[in-house]
Amino acid sequence: MANWSGEPAYKQVAEGLRARIRDGRLKVGAQLPSIADLMHEYEVSITVVRMALSELRSEGLIDSHQGKGSFVRAEPSAETKTPPPSPEFAAIMQHLDQVHDDVRRLGDRLDHLEKFVQGEDKPAKRSRRPSS
């Protein structure tokens, strides 16, 4: 779990993964845990995990492949340091996180609508007002 150390949460997640690579728990070529697993493990948002992985990619420690995951590329050097992501990058990542949530909600609504159209789901009963 990311703690309230004053260090940004994504830096804490990145350092945790760096430590695993450094001590051999994640060897070169090994696949990192999924984004969902990292979110659960560190109790952080998808944005935090994505920023941590982005930092490790920019350092050359991991490679990511769409639909396959992230893999250890190299062992970290002692002086590995990268500049923090720009505020624009953080804003874009937050926006992408929101878009992801919106698309998921739309998918849920579409599933519900398709079940309704196919007759598998009944609409909520409306109360009828007596005619006057």
Structure confidence by residue, pLDDT tens digits, 19-37: 999 899 999 999 999 999 9
Tell me the domain boundaries of the chain. 9-85
Average predicted confidence (pLDDT) for the chain: 83
- Average pLDDT of 106-114? 89
The answer to whether the CB of 12 falls within 8 A of the CB of 58 is: no
Q: Quick count: other Cβ atoms within 10 Å of Cβ 115?
A: 12
Q: How far apart are CA 119 and CA 113, in angstroms?
A: 10
Fold entry, domain 9-85: Arc Repressor Mutant, subunit A (1.10.10)
**73-92: average pLDDT:** 69
How many beta carbons lie within 10 A of that of residue 101, not counting itself?
Answer: 11
Q: Whole-structure pTM over 0.75, yes or no?
A: no
Stretch 59-82: mean pLDDT: 80
